[in-house]
Protein backbone atom coordinates (compact mmCIF):
# COMPACT_ATOMS: atom_id res chain seq x y z
CA UNK A 1 0.00 0.00 0.00
CA UNK A 2 1.36 3.40 -0.96
CA UNK A 3 1.77 5.86 1.91
CA UNK A 4 2.12 9.58 2.50
CA UNK A 5 5.87 9.61 3.00
CA UNK A 6 8.61 12.12 3.82
CA UNK A 7 11.89 11.23 2.13
CA UNK A 8 14.93 13.01 3.53
CA UNK A 9 18.20 12.68 1.66
CA UNK A 10 21.24 13.64 3.74
CA UNK A 11 23.17 12.90 6.91
CA UNK A 12 23.34 16.03 9.06
CA UNK A 13 21.55 17.97 11.78
CA UNK A 14 19.09 19.49 9.33
CA UNK A 15 17.87 16.04 8.28
CA UNK A 16 17.20 14.98 11.85
CA UNK A 17 15.38 18.22 12.71
CA UNK A 18 13.22 17.91 9.61
CA UNK A 19 12.37 14.33 10.50
CA UNK A 20 11.42 15.19 14.07
CA UNK A 21 9.18 18.04 12.96
CA UNK A 22 7.39 15.97 10.30
CA UNK A 23 6.72 12.82 12.31
CA UNK A 24 3.09 13.73 13.08
CA UNK A 25 2.21 14.76 9.54
CA UNK A 26 3.35 11.74 7.54
CA UNK A 27 2.59 8.04 7.69
CA UNK A 28 6.22 7.17 7.06
CA UNK A 29 9.52 9.05 7.35
CA UNK A 30 12.75 7.71 5.88
CA UNK A 31 16.20 9.26 5.98
CA UNK A 32 18.45 8.22 3.11
CA UNK A 33 22.16 8.48 3.77
CA UNK A 34 25.38 8.14 1.84
CA UNK A 35 27.19 7.58 5.15
CA UNK A 36 27.63 4.02 6.41
CA UNK A 37 27.76 5.06 10.08
CA UNK A 38 24.60 7.16 10.08
CA UNK A 39 22.13 4.34 10.67
CA UNK A 40 22.98 3.83 14.34
CA UNK A 41 22.71 7.56 15.07
CA UNK A 42 19.30 7.99 13.53
CA UNK A 43 17.90 4.71 14.84
CA UNK A 44 18.39 6.13 18.32
CA UNK A 45 15.65 8.58 17.40
CA UNK A 46 13.38 5.81 16.08
CA UNK A 47 13.66 7.04 12.50
CA UNK A 48 14.07 4.58 9.66
CA UNK A 49 17.34 4.98 7.78
CA UNK A 50 18.31 3.53 4.44
CA UNK A 51 21.51 3.89 2.47
CA UNK A 52 21.44 5.10 -1.10
CA UNK A 53 23.72 5.82 -4.00
CA UNK A 54 23.48 8.79 -6.34
CA UNK A 55 23.31 6.37 -9.26
CA UNK A 56 20.06 4.80 -7.95
CA UNK A 57 17.09 4.86 -10.32
CA UNK A 58 14.54 5.18 -7.46
CA UNK A 59 12.24 2.49 -8.82
CA UNK A 60 12.02 0.93 -5.34
CA UNK A 61 10.72 4.22 -3.90
CA UNK A 62 7.97 4.42 -6.50
CA UNK A 63 6.55 1.16 -5.17
CA UNK A 64 5.60 2.43 -1.71
CA UNK A 65 5.05 6.21 -1.75
CA UNK A 66 1.98 8.17 -2.74
CA UNK A 67 3.73 10.66 -5.00
CA UNK A 68 0.99 13.32 -4.87
CA UNK A 69 0.94 13.56 -1.05
CA UNK A 70 4.59 12.73 -0.31
CA UNK A 71 7.54 15.09 -0.05
CA UNK A 72 11.30 14.86 -0.55
CA UNK A 73 14.00 16.95 1.12
CA UNK A 74 17.43 17.22 -0.51
CA UNK A 75 19.83 18.26 2.25
CA UNK A 76 23.16 16.82 1.12
CA UNK A 77 26.01 19.07 2.28
CA UNK A 78 27.87 18.86 -1.05
CA UNK A 79 26.15 21.34 -3.41
CA UNK A 80 26.99 19.43 -6.58
CA UNK A 81 25.62 16.19 -5.12
CA UNK A 82 22.48 17.98 -3.96
CA UNK A 83 21.88 19.38 -7.44
CA UNK A 84 22.49 16.00 -9.08
CA UNK A 85 20.10 14.34 -6.60
CA UNK A 86 17.40 16.91 -7.33
CA UNK A 87 17.71 16.35 -11.08
CA UNK A 88 17.57 12.58 -10.58
CA UNK A 89 14.48 12.70 -8.39
CA UNK A 90 12.65 15.13 -10.65
CA UNK A 91 13.36 13.03 -13.76
CA UNK A 92 11.72 10.05 -12.02
CA UNK A 93 8.89 11.78 -10.13
CA UNK A 94 7.16 14.52 -12.10
CA UNK A 95 4.58 15.17 -9.34
CA UNK A 96 6.74 14.80 -6.21
CA UNK A 97 7.10 17.91 -4.03
CA UNK A 98 10.87 18.46 -3.69
CA UNK A 99 12.36 20.87 -1.13
CA UNK A 100 16.10 21.56 -1.32
CA UNK A 101 18.47 23.37 1.02
CA UNK A 102 21.26 25.51 -0.39
CA UNK A 103 24.30 27.26 1.06
CA UNK A 104 24.04 30.36 -1.15
CA UNK A 105 21.93 32.10 -3.77
CA UNK A 106 23.94 30.72 -6.69
CA UNK A 107 23.28 27.15 -5.62
CA UNK A 108 19.64 28.00 -4.95
CA UNK A 109 19.21 29.12 -8.55
CA UNK A 110 20.75 25.89 -9.85
CA UNK A 111 18.51 23.78 -7.59
CA UNK A 112 15.43 25.55 -8.95
CA UNK A 113 16.55 24.80 -12.50
CA UNK A 114 17.20 21.20 -11.43
CA UNK A 115 13.52 20.83 -10.52
CA UNK A 116 13.11 21.71 -6.84
CA UNK A 117 9.66 23.10 -6.00
CA UNK A 118 11.13 25.22 -3.25
CA UNK A 119 14.71 26.12 -2.31
CA UNK A 120 15.65 27.32 1.16
CA UNK A 121 19.00 29.15 1.48
CA UNK A 122 20.20 28.28 4.98
CA UNK A 123 21.87 31.48 6.22
CA UNK A 124 19.50 33.82 4.42
CA UNK A 125 16.53 31.94 5.85
CA UNK A 126 17.77 32.41 9.40
CA UNK A 127 18.13 36.13 8.83
CA UNK A 128 14.73 36.38 7.16
CA UNK A 129 13.07 34.48 10.01
CA UNK A 130 14.51 36.88 12.57
CA UNK A 131 13.57 39.88 10.43
CA UNK A 132 10.04 38.53 10.10
CA UNK A 133 9.80 37.99 13.84
CA UNK A 134 10.89 41.55 14.49
CA UNK A 135 7.92 42.81 12.48
CA UNK A 136 5.50 41.28 14.99
CA UNK A 137 4.34 43.73 17.69
CA UNK A 138 4.84 41.34 20.61
CA UNK A 139 8.42 40.59 19.58
CA UNK A 140 9.16 44.28 19.09
CA UNK A 141 7.84 44.91 22.58
CA UNK A 142 10.06 42.22 24.09
CA UNK A 143 13.17 43.55 22.34
CA UNK A 144 12.29 47.08 23.38
CA UNK A 145 12.06 45.94 26.99
CA UNK A 146 15.41 44.15 26.79
CA UNK A 147 17.22 47.01 25.13
CA UNK A 148 15.70 50.17 26.52
CA UNK A 149 13.83 49.44 29.74
CA UNK A 150 14.68 47.90 33.06
CA UNK A 151 13.83 44.36 31.99
CA UNK A 152 15.65 41.44 33.59
CA UNK A 153 17.19 40.29 30.29
CA UNK A 154 20.00 42.26 28.69
CA UNK A 155 21.88 42.13 25.40
CA UNK A 156 25.66 42.57 25.49
CA UNK A 157 28.66 42.40 23.17
CA UNK A 158 31.71 40.64 24.59
CA UNK A 159 35.16 40.43 23.00
CA UNK A 160 37.38 37.37 23.42
CA UNK A 161 40.70 38.48 24.92
CA UNK A 162 44.12 37.07 24.03
CA UNK A 163 44.41 35.03 27.25
CA UNK A 164 41.11 33.20 26.84
CA UNK A 165 41.17 29.43 27.34
CA UNK A 166 38.71 28.86 24.49
CA UNK A 167 40.96 30.26 21.76
CA UNK A 168 41.61 27.49 19.25
CA UNK A 169 38.48 25.52 20.14
CA UNK A 170 35.56 24.98 17.78
CA UNK A 171 32.50 27.02 18.64
CA UNK A 172 30.29 23.93 18.30
CA UNK A 173 32.20 22.24 21.16
CA UNK A 174 30.88 24.61 23.83
CA UNK A 175 27.38 24.76 25.29
CA UNK A 176 27.34 28.39 26.43
CA UNK A 177 23.88 28.16 27.99
CA UNK A 178 24.88 25.39 30.39
CA UNK A 179 28.25 26.86 31.30
CA UNK A 180 27.23 30.50 31.68
CA UNK A 181 23.44 30.76 31.55
CA UNK A 182 23.54 33.03 28.49
CA UNK A 183 22.33 32.59 24.92
CA UNK A 184 24.86 33.47 22.21
CA UNK A 185 22.99 35.07 19.30
CA UNK A 186 25.77 35.88 16.85
CA UNK A 187 29.51 36.06 16.27
CA UNK A 188 31.35 39.01 14.72
CA UNK A 189 34.75 38.17 13.20
CA UNK A 190 37.85 40.35 13.03
CA UNK A 191 36.81 41.61 9.60
CA UNK A 192 33.49 42.69 11.20
CA UNK A 193 31.44 40.16 9.22
CA UNK A 194 28.70 38.65 11.37
CA UNK A 195 27.07 35.23 11.44
CA UNK A 196 24.06 33.97 13.33
CA UNK A 197 25.18 31.36 15.82
CA UNK A 198 22.88 28.69 14.36
CA UNK A 199 24.08 29.04 10.77
CA UNK A 200 25.83 26.07 9.20
CA UNK A 201 28.97 28.10 8.48
CA UNK A 202 29.56 29.17 12.07
CA UNK A 203 29.57 25.59 13.39
CA UNK A 204 33.05 25.17 11.92
CA UNK A 205 34.43 28.44 13.29
CA UNK A 206 37.52 28.23 15.50
CA UNK A 207 37.45 30.79 18.31
CA UNK A 208 40.12 33.45 17.94
CA UNK A 209 41.33 36.54 19.77
CA UNK A 210 39.09 39.58 19.24
CA UNK A 211 36.04 37.55 18.19
CA UNK A 212 32.91 39.36 19.36
CA UNK A 213 29.96 37.46 20.81
CA UNK A 214 26.49 39.00 20.87
CA UNK A 215 24.74 37.48 23.89
CA UNK A 216 21.48 37.77 25.78
CA UNK A 217 20.99 36.88 29.46
CA UNK A 218 20.57 38.14 32.99
CA UNK A 219 23.01 40.80 34.18
CA UNK A 220 24.80 38.49 36.64
CA UNK A 221 25.22 35.76 34.01
CA UNK A 222 26.53 38.24 31.47
CA UNK A 223 29.03 39.46 34.06
CA UNK A 224 30.21 35.89 34.65
CA UNK A 225 30.51 35.37 30.90
CA UNK A 226 32.66 38.51 30.68
CA UNK A 227 34.93 37.34 33.50
CA UNK A 228 35.49 33.96 31.88
CA UNK A 229 35.69 34.86 28.20
CA UNK A 230 36.70 38.45 27.62
CA UNK A 231 35.67 42.06 28.11
CA UNK A 232 32.45 44.03 27.68
CA UNK A 233 32.34 46.18 24.55
CA UNK A 234 28.99 47.97 24.87
If asked whether residues 46 and 100 sit together in one domain, one would say yes
Closest CA to 183 of 204, 197, 168: 197
pTM tops 0.85, yes or no: no
Read off the pLDDT of residues 117-154 as tens digits, 9 standing for 90 and up.
Answer: 988 876 544 445 445 544 555 445 555 555 445 556 67
Q: Are strands 153-160 and 118-121 parallel, antiparallel or unpaired?
A: unpaired
Residues 119 and 64 in one domain: yes
Predicted pLDDT at 202: 65
Structural domain span for residue 91: 5-126
Across the range 217-233, mean pLDDT stands at 75
Task: Output the domain CATH number for residue 192.
Answer: 3.30.70.1450
79-88 tens-digit pLDDT: 889 999 999 9
Segment 54-70, tens digit of pLDDT: 887 787 787 888 888 89
- Domain presence at residue 114: yes
Question: Is residue 155, in this structure, part of any structural domain at all?
Answer: yes
Q: Pick from 78, 102, 126: which residue ends a domain?
A: 126
Q: Which residues pair with 110 in a beta bridge?
A: none
* Whether residues 100 and 157 fall in one domain: no
Could you give the number of structural domains in the chain?
A: 2
187 and 149 belong to one structural domain:
yes
Q: Do residues 28 and 115 share a domain?
A: yes
Question: Of 93, 126, 159, which marks where a domain is finished?
Answer: 126
Tell me: do 10 and 114 sit in the same domain: yes
**131 within domain boundaries:** no
Q: Are 184 and 213 in contact (CB under 8 A)?
A: yes
**Residues 121 and 152 reside in one and the same domain:** no
Q: Which residues contact 210 (CB under 8 A, 6 or more apart)?
A: 159, 160, 190
Q: Are residues 206 and 156 in the same domain?
A: yes
What span, in angstroms and rounded, lies between the C-alpha atoms of 166 and 206? Answer: 9
The secondary structure of 68-86 as a DSSP string is: TT-EEEE--SSHHHHHHHH
Domain end among 126, 148, 176: 126
Phi–psi pair at 169, nearest 5 degrees? -95, 155
Contact 97, 70 (CB under 8 A): yes
**Structural domain contains residue 30:** yes
Amino acid sequence: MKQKTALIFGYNDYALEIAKNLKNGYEKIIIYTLESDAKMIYENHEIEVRSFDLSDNWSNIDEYIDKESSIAFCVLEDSAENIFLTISLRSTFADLNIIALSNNKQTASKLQMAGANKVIPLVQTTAEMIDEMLQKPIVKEVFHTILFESGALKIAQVKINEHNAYIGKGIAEIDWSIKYGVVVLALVNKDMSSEFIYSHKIKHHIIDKDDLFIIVGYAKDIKEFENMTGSRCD
